[in-house]
Each structure stands twice: as structure tokens, then as C-alpha cells.
Amino acid sequence: MTEEPGKKKKVFLSDWELKKMGAAGRAAGSLPENAIISPLSSDWLGSERRTAANPRAPGAGRQGQGGPRAEVALRVKIAEIGRRLYPLGFVPGTDGNISVRLDENTVLITPSGIAKGALTPEDITKMDIGGGLISGKKPSSEYLLHLCFYKNRPDVMAVIHAHPPLATGLASAGMALDRPLTSEIVITLGKVPLAEYATPGTAEVTDSIAGFVKEHNAIMLANHGVVTCGRDLETAFQRMETVEQAAKITLVAEHLGGGRLIPPDKVRKLEEMRRRLGI
């Protein structure tokens, strides 16, 4: 079939490509005449145009971490964190999940069934705080775990769930990381509690961590793994690394007789340092 003379060939633009255009500063009204877009992209463009026309309209400017440009950057950062977790052995196969809060009602999260070491920004799924899919692939089966943090901790902007082997081994043996073995553990993590076993991907998981979420930035999941949170993805990632380091230290101390704990009065000083640092 030949095209009519002078008529341009239709070009499909994905949701991701439109977001990149926004990140590059191209206006929503500057699409080529021959562009074809999806219904999801059409909704997004409509929202962008309404905001541009009336910046004071309800919902305009409510994106907690910026507009389309920030979303692109966060997608890139999620993929980067996945690539950093993978060689550490924290997310073998397709294990683990990573998310970030985009605004008060929207979350970006890794999809189900994709290796975290092979993530691309286009792979990332967008969903609402109620668990509804906005765009992208099927979200991680552990999305309820992530939403539990976002619903209960306004300060939390990122959540990582992984299976660091030594920390997961301790969790499978019924051991929490709640003893003051080193000053760094006390300052950076405080106590890391152990949540009871819950069936992955179900509401049982949120029930098991509900009593810990508000007071702890890292939680061990019995026979399952570890979940950490933070004000950004980098903080959540570093806390995951620190949990595994604490597990290594704990195992060595146990092997050598249990370790000598920091005295209670010294622990209180470290906890005060932690509060002053806002950790």
C-alpha cells in the first residue's frame, strides 16, 4: 500500500518517549502532526496542557519530586540501583523490588519478573497509592510492602526490598539485628527488628511489618529478606548495605562467643548523636 503524496508516515510515540520530550523541555503542544500516541499518553498530555494553561488549578504542581524531567531521572536512578544491588548478590534472578514516591498519590516501582541487574528506565511501572496500575507492566508482587511505608511514613520517598544473604540467613534463624555491637550500627540503623514470617506478595506482609514501619528504617523479614526505606533511593540503598554489614559483624561476633556489647550509657550517647544527625 502506497502513501498519499505529501502525506507523512505515522509515527508512534510511547509514554516514555513523551516523558523524555518533557524532560528535554519540549512543550506538550509541540508534537509532530503525524504522531500517534496511546490513551495513557493522551491522558498525561491533557494533564500537562491543563497545568500549563492554569498553573493554579487543583492538582497542578503537586508532583512531590518535580515534573516529567524528575520522573525520567527517577526511572534512571531505579535502574541504576538495580544494577548496583545485583553484583552484591542481594537480588539474584528476578528477586527484590525497588520503588520511589513520585508524588503524594503516585509511585514508580520495578515490574514483576525482571532481573534488577538488567532494568531499563522504560521497564519501570507507575501505579497509584491505592495499588492501581497507571502505566507500564505488571508491578512487583510485593507492591503492598512498599505502599505500607508510603501510607504510614510521609518522610519516606524510597523503599528497597532485597535478599542480602547473610542478613536473610539471620532472619531465617530468628535473629534480629537489635544489639549494639558497633557504634556505626547504632548511629546509622538503630535497632533492626525481625518481623514474623508472612506469605510474600500478600497482605500478611504488611500486617507483619505494621508495628515497625513508623519507628524503623530497616526491617528484617523472617525467612524472606530485608526491607529498607529512606528520604531518597541512595539512602535506602546504603541502609541495605549497612544491614548486610551488620549481619556479617554479628555472625563473626557470635562465632567468637557472642561479642561484647556497648554499655547502655554509651549507647544512649550514640542514640543522641543519631537524633542530632536526623538519621
CA–CA dist 172, 223 (Å, integer): 4
Sole residue written with cell 527517577: 74
Q: What is the DSSP string of 167-226?
A: HHHHHHTT--B-S--SHHHHHHT--B-EEPP--TTSHHHHHHHTTTTTT-SEEEETTTEE
Helix, strand, or coil (residue 259) = coil
User: Exposed (0-12), middle (13-18) or buried (19+): which is 78, by Cβ within 10 Å?
Assistant: buried
* 257 Cβ contact list (under 8 Å, min separation 6): none
Residue 218's beta-bridge partner residues? 228
Residue (of 220, 265, 233) closest to 160 by Cα position = 233
Residues with catalytic function: 142
The grid coordinates of residue 180 equal 549494639
Residue (of 259, 65, 118, 112) closest to 181 by Cα position = 259
